[in-house]
A and B are shown apart, each in its own frame.
Chain A
Amino acid sequence: MKRHLISAADLSRDDALLILDTADELARISDRSIKKLPTLRGRTVVNLFFEDSTRTRISFEAAAKRLSADVINFSAKGSSVSKGESLKDTALTLEAMGADAVVIRHGASGAPHRLAGWVRGSVVNAGDGTHEHPTQALLDAFTMRRRLGSLEGRRVTIVGDILHSRVARSNVLLLSTLGAEVTLVAPPTLLPVSVGSWPCEVSYDLDSMLPKSDVVMMLRVQRERMNAAFFPTEREYSRRYGLDRDRAAKLDDGVIVMHPGPMNRGMEIAAEVADSPRSTIVEQVANGVTTRMAVLYLLLGGADLGGEDQ
């Protein structure tokens, strides 16, 4: 494994499987109601959140605390950052505090790359702009594996605002590494012009893809995109790309429905579908903690000294 987890592309197939296997074992441990392991005692994990994301921050915080790490939450609001302190100065401050890992959420694509150049600890990307969100992809893959077994050859359809979605980017990279077949479904306005160079298929037609899917992952569509003319109206978007009750009813029995949250119920996904047994939305939250524990454990596991243990 590399020292940082910034992009899903940083993970080889073996790395990804190691994380998922580790998360599996950790899930067994927490099933046995052991909520806390001493593994990262004395290590410091900083949650550096420049964007509001209570869900992701809490998930990382829980993961670090269950491994007994000291957790410092550094949120940009009301801090020196909002008074104009630069990312670099913030990084140097963290460095002085001796952060072993920095979990960063930032509105600018690439901010974790820059941070990694300024701190010694491991950098974990918790979402950067419209770039990536690799731990979300890992928890999604973990969730799929628990429901469906191996991902090899599984057909995953990701639906929604691909252009602005860090979740989609990370999922395409990770799922193709793990041997799944990914198809992106979106109106053409919400796909990058270069999407043809991605390791996945593209379709504009949700109905034609649903019968060919083992997993349907719905992405949040922000209403402000409508104002920028990415689609005409919410109603039209929902009609063409929303997973409503009728569409969900046509899915094969084993097909699972995922959503990284937060959802717009009634927009990209109907409430009945989100709450149905095929929905993994609640599991995804629980799996997020386990997966992030695995990532923190594996990243903070010291240097490879090539030693042999007795």
Chain B
Amino acid sequence: MAEAVSRAHTSAHAVLEGPDINRALIRISHEILERTKGGEDVVLLGIPTRGVHLARRLAGHIRQFEGHPVPVGSLDITMYRDDLRTRPARPLGRTELPPDGIDDKTVVLVDDVLYSGRTVRAALDALNDLGRPRAVQLAALVDRGHRELPIRADYVGKNLPTSKSEIVKVYLEERDGRDAVLLLKEEDK
């Protein structure tokens, strides 16, 4: 999602506020630690732009709980998208891998909203070009349903039933000045 929506959405309500987001991320951090045996060999890769901020926050929590840092990086999937024909070309995000790379690591991909699954599909392709992780897992702040590919998240902040005409907007302090997840409805549709 990301860019501002200029169309006439007439109603918006907050699904998650700042404290909710914080609690969800803390919970996901714990789950990651449980499922990866204390976060050994874990690399968090955020998908630009908000996924990167979320990955950094998760890393912060894990460090707090365990006392050791978890490598964080970013994985831009723009050049791996399958919708180039139908969408305007977009600026590239940054791909930055931790110094030790991703080979034989457990990579946790982090994104803000899980929807069709196509972004994750593209991310898996991108990962494939970068190395060979031992395992790949997926964390999403919001899962709004409507999958178009056989993909599911290992860690979910909130499952949010939506209709396709609705739009989920994620705001994060680092980029947007506040934390919130909004559900926007187009009234006439």
Contacts and interface: CB of A to CB of B under 8 A. Distances in A.
Given A34-B129, A37-B79, A37-B80, A304 B88 contact: yes
B89 A300 contact: yes
A198 B87 CA distance: 36
A305 interface: yes
Contacts of B1: 308-310
Contact of A301 (B90, B94, B95, B116): B90
A29 B86 CA distance: 24
Given A310-B1, A310-B113, A310-B144, A303 B95 contact: no
A151 to B, nearest CB: 19
A26 interface: yes
A67 B87 CA distance: 17
Interface string B112-127: 0101100000000100
A86 interface: no
A308 B89 contact: no
Contacts of A307: 86-87
Nearest to B1: A310
Interface in A264-310: 297-305, 307-310
B174 interface: no
Interface stretch (A17-25, A111-119, A166-174, A240-248): A17-25
B87 A39 contact: no
A18 B89 CA distance: 10
A297 B81 CA distance: 12
B145 to A, nearest CB: 11
A147 interface: no
Chain A contact residues, majority secondary structure:
loop
B84 A310 contact: no
Contacts of A32: 95, 97, 130
Contacts of A67: 79
A200 B118 CA distance: 48
Contacts of A40: 84
Interface string B1-14: 11101000000000
Nearest to A36: B129
A18 B91 contact: yes
A297 B89 CA distance: 7
Best-surrounded residue of B81, B87, B92, B167 (most CB of chain A within 10 A): B92
B92 A21 contact: yes
A18 B88 CA distance: 13
Contact of A25 (B94, B97, B167): B94
A37 B78 CA distance: 10
Contacts of A196: none
Interface in B71-117: 76, 79-81, 83-95, 97, 113, 115-116
Nearest to A299: B89
Interface of A: 1, 18, 21-22, 25-26, 28-29, 32, 34, 36-40, 67, 297-305, 307-310
Given A40-B84, A308-B3, 19 more contacts: A25-B92, A29-B79, A34-B130, A37-B79, A38-B79, A297-B79, A297-B89, A301-B84, A301-B88, A302-B85, A302-B88, A303-B86, A305-B87, A309-B1, A309-B2, A309-B83, A310-B115, A310-B116, A310-B168
19 contacts: A22-B92, A25-B76, A25-B92, A25-B93, A28-B94, A29-B79, A36-B129, A38-B125, A39-B84, A297-B79, A297-B89, A300-B84, A301-B84, A302-B83, A302-B84, A303-B88, A304-B88, A305-B88, A310-B115
